[in-house]
Structure 1
């Protein structure tokens, strides 16, 4: 199987999983159902993922890739870093909206299965690292790790606003993100980040 074909299969699995999640809730989605809806045998699905956490990793990678593709060439390096990051994060919320029903039930499931949330943390931090990279913000070393941690916390906080903002323009999300980016920018300047 070519690398491109394997990536297409992974995206297909992620999309199917989020569709099922939106229909019946992530807590009720089984690997067998994902395989069936994806047109795979359970053995074929096993060759791609180990468990449901891997499915969520595929969803995260799909979202990351879409954001990176959509933002390719869209940012001007002369624009302040905060504005570039704002645009990237708003694009991320736009992409999340494509899978809104499924994502919402995944987030709900974390209340009942906190292990899944903990397992997702490194993947979320990796995603935020990519978002910072896309904005042209340095992520190496201790300072970079602090930026990744800060953006991850900001993203989780804004995600809570996104959950309740069903408006097309996502005005509440934009306001919360802008306000929190301002706070983070102030802290970053204070600490020399």
Structure 2
């Protein structure tokens, strides 16, 4: 019996590389341009060209240069949250915060040169700083939650805004710290964490001390409308003609 000719080997299906995230391309393009030229000279067309997207596509991705800066926050958030583990879950909050800030700085490192040029310009624009602060507050809610620090209780807003300020101060030193050991950054972070711990401790003490006053204020505010309603009800009844019961 004649042998059947051997079937040609089946070619392995080619695995194409996953398409690059256009948002990441745009963010990377902006910071690459910012490292080489002044912020005010970077046009939207420059960003689109550098990222390899059309201006229409850029408009669909981001409405403005400021929004692209916000895109960096999202990229860093994703990187930090993806790298979160339970290794430090039993450590004090200060140690968890130290690790969190350093991991965030690591995620920012590819964009450091651009940030170094952009930040002095943004600090002179209060409206831009206010918008960036709102984005940072949203970001740090997730950052603190990832290391088990409460954000939704009465002192949650204090913790979140405090973390935003702490990160901003440490980043000032980090942007000028080019040492491999980052000794200046580590020292600044250590000082800022000590200050934040002291401030939060005082805020917690104040919150406990004012608890009776807050309770009294709530009681007074809730009682006054009832008194007014009762007074109005008495006045209404005095002027009513009650129909006889049937």
**Same fold per superposition (TM over 0.5):** yes
Which structure would you say has the larger Rg? 2
Q: What is the CA deviation profile of residues 147-175 of structure 1, one whole-angstrom value per residue up to 9, with x for unaligned ones?
A: 01111111121122112211122111111
2:40 is matched with 27
1: CA distance, partners of 2:62 / 2:134: 17
Per residue, is there more helix in 1 or in 2?
A: 1
**CA shift in 2, pair 1:142/1:167, >3 Å:** same
| 1:39 CA displacement | 1.3
Q: Which has the higher contact order (CA 8 A, sep 6+)?
A: 1
| 1:21 CA displacement | 1.0
1: CA distance, partners of 2:19 / 2:43: 21
2: CA distance, partners of 1:35 / 1:90: 32
Q: Which ranges of structure 1 fall in alignment gaps of 5 or more residues? A: none
1: CA distance, partners of 2:105 / 2:135: 17
Contact 1:85 1:131 survives alignment (8 Å): no
| 1:112 CA displacement | 4.5
1:140 is matched with 152
2:76 is matched with 63
2:67 is matched with 54
Q: What is the CA deviation profile of residues 94-142 of structure 1, one whole-angstrom value per residue up to 9, with x for unaligned ones?
A: 2222211111122022144443222211011122222211211010033
| 1:86 CA displacement | 0.5
2:117 is matched with 105
Name the TM-score, length of structure 2 as normaliser: 0.71
Secondary structure, counterpart of 1:24 in structure 2? coil
2: CA distance, partners of 1:74 / 1:28: 45
Q: Which ranges of structure 2 fall in alignment gaps of 5 or more residues? A: 1-17, 206-246
2:30 is matched with 17
Q: What is the CA deviation profile of residues 16-67 of structure 1, one whole-angstrom value per residue up to 9, with x for unaligned ones?
A: 1111111223222211111111111101110111111111110111122122
The root-mean-square deviation of aligned C-alpha atoms, in Å, is 2.0
Secondary structure, counterpart of 2:61 in structure 1? coil
